[in-house]
A and B are shown apart, each in its own frame.
Chain A
Amino acid sequence: MTENYTALHEEHKKLGASFTDFGGWQMPLKYSSELAEHHAVRKSAGLYDLSHMGEVWVTGPDAAAFLDYALVGKISAMAVGKAKYSLICNEDGGIIDDLITYRRPAGADGTDKFLVVPNAGNAKVVAAALAGRAVSGREGGFDVTVEDASADTSLIAVQGPKAQEILLRLVPAAQHELVTGLKYYAAVDVPLMFGGTSRELLLARTGYTGEDGFEIFVANDAAAALWQALVAIAEDGELTPAGLASRDSLRLEAGMPLYGNELSLDGDPFAAGLGPVVALSKEGDFVGRVALAAKKEAGAGSTAGRKLVGLKGLGRRAGRGHYPVLKDGNTVGEVTSGQPSPTLGYPVAMAYVDVEFTGPGTTLDIDLRGKTEPFEVVALPFYKRQK
């Protein structure tokens, strides 16, 4: 696999990062201690390079109708400035990726404009699927342009309870209201001052940590200057550069699925607890509708098959991906993600489990390489921030 490097790779080296391959990208795993970075995000704020994520622009008179067809959600119902979590499925209802779509202000000619953000490892597949569906989706195709800007766009996140306060240090006072008034799952163009100049950048109040936080889309050529400005703020001690190890433990505590672990082509949205994301009631056809309606009808994730649950460890040992879940010695499920929760102090895991054993309070065992350890089914998320 080709190794990709983000525009911030040299910055990470300067900070002494250890790297890991993720989705074909060399990404910071941690800078010092992943536990310290995890706690920093929960208590103060963490700084992440998420430039491995994809950015695909969908523009044109048919953009809203097209995304209603290509994704499972009702994208056309979004207001300008909002963001929406959705899935792109195949005809069989398998999940190609989970993604966030941002509706941006229409162009001067009234042309609709959306930014679709897929996962790193799926960005090319998603961009290709969107381009293909634009042509083949209906008689005559959709009047849209699909542009994969992933290679030219960096994404920097500031996550944690102090994220807003930190970010405001880069925003001119007259524009503070744009940031303080920004709702969760919304985005706005904001002037940010860094590198001796001011640039208008797309700032989204989104994240993958279970905390308040922001994600900033920035062209590659300005990314290092923005990162350096944030690292300078980090020297005050309230912002900590953080790697993907902490991002994974944070999202797990927040009960958020990771594509490749909880979500896959073989899985379905209902078993993953994402039934509400699938807008079967929306008008018109969409890719996967027939298969998804049939799965829902068959009780996928409610009365049939397996369902994604949270498991709280009653002992000290953590379950890990692919470890079997047992009930009375019989395999009834499989762990998709698991590790000791730094915030809660006990092991947590997500697992697909036969629906009859998914009631909260059910005790199950995880087979830890031959030894069993007891776990209890609990509602997700494991951790919810105080608002």
Chain B
Amino acid sequence: MAKVAPELQYSDEHEWVAREAGNLVSIGISAVATDALGDIVYVDLPEVGATVTAGETCGEVESTKSVSDLYAPVTGEVTEINPAVVDDPALINSDPYGAGWLFKVAAESDGPLLSAQEYASKNGGEL
């Protein structure tokens, strides 16, 4: 069963949110999502400086089998993207909560977020 990292928050669209300093958050996708997607071969991230809006699409994740939209779990300006996952999208599969992080946002507001417990029980993940 897919791991759900207990210290993170989650959106219904399977993005995770990690609180960093101040209002800065880093964002990735859960192992529940990467398991369902299969091997990820391409990721399209928002640009640094762009504003993303909670609940709206801000990129795409493409696996061998399918393409999925990436949804912003928070509203704010993108401050950094992870160049390592653009180079090697397989990192998202191998370490979704660590080296496979996608981008960081200076969050002005959050979209609806679930606790790890709520997310796990809703999506069949394992804490």
Contacts and interface: CB of A to CB of B under 8 A. Distances in A.
Contacts of A317: 42, 62
A18 B38 CA distance: 10
Contact of A18 (B35, B62, B66, B93): B35
Interface stretch (A29-37, A48-56, A110-118, A357-365): A29-37
Contacts of A35: 39, 64
A34 B62 contact: no
Nearest to B65: A245
A375 to B, nearest CB: 15
B41 interface: yes
B67 interface: yes
Contacts of B41: 318, 340
A340 B67 contact: no
A29 B39 CA distance: 12
Nearest to A345: B41
A38 B38 CA distance: 13
A34 B35 contact: no
Contact of A342 (B42, B62, B64, B66): B64
Contact of A318 (B38, B39, B62, B93): B62
A369 interface: yes
Interface string B54-75: 0000000010111100000000
Nearest to A340: B41
A33 B62 contact: no
B39 A34 contact: yes
Give the dominant DSSP class at B's interface: mixed
Q: Which of B42, B65, B66, B93 has the most CB of A within 10 A?
A: B65
B67 A30 contact: no
Interface residues of B, number: 11
B67 A320 contact: yes
A209 interface: no
Nearest to A323: B67
Nearest to A317: B42
A249 B64 contact: yes
A153 interface: no
Contacts of B65: 34, 245, 248, 339
Nearest to B69: A369
A316 interface: yes
Interface in A220-252: 245, 248-249
Contact of B64 (A18, A245, A369): A245
A340 B43 CA distance: 13
A148 B35 CA distance: 37
A33 B66 contact: no
A33 B42 contact: no
A30 B42 contact: no
A248 B66 CA distance: 13
B93 A33 contact: yes
Nearest to A315: B42
A339 B64 contact: yes
A20 to B, nearest CB: 9
Contacts of B35: 18
A18 B5 CA distance: 21
Interface string A339-381: 1101000000000000000000000000011000000000000
A249 B66 CA distance: 12
A285 B86 CA distance: 58
B38 A34 contact: yes
A316 B38 contact: no
Nearest to A248: B65
B42 A316 contact: yes
Nearest to B93: A33
A116 B41 CA distance: 38
Given A245-B38, A249-B64, A340-B42, 16 more contacts: A33-B38, A34-B39, A34-B65, A35-B64, A38-B64, A245-B64, A248-B65, A317-B62, A318-B41, A318-B42, A318-B67, A339-B65, A340-B62, A340-B64, A342-B64, A368-B67
28 contacts: A18-B35, A29-B38, A30-B38, A33-B38, A33-B39, A33-B93, A34-B38, A34-B39, A35-B39, A38-B64, A245-B38, A245-B65, A248-B65, A249-B64, A316-B42, A317-B42, A317-B62, A318-B41, A318-B42, A318-B62, A318-B67, A339-B64, A339-B65, A340-B42, A340-B62, A340-B64, A342-B64, A369-B67
Listed from nearest, the 9 A-B pairs whose CB atoms lie closest are A35-B39, A340-B41, A34-B38, A339-B64, A33-B39, A34-B64, A316-B42, A34-B39, A245-B65
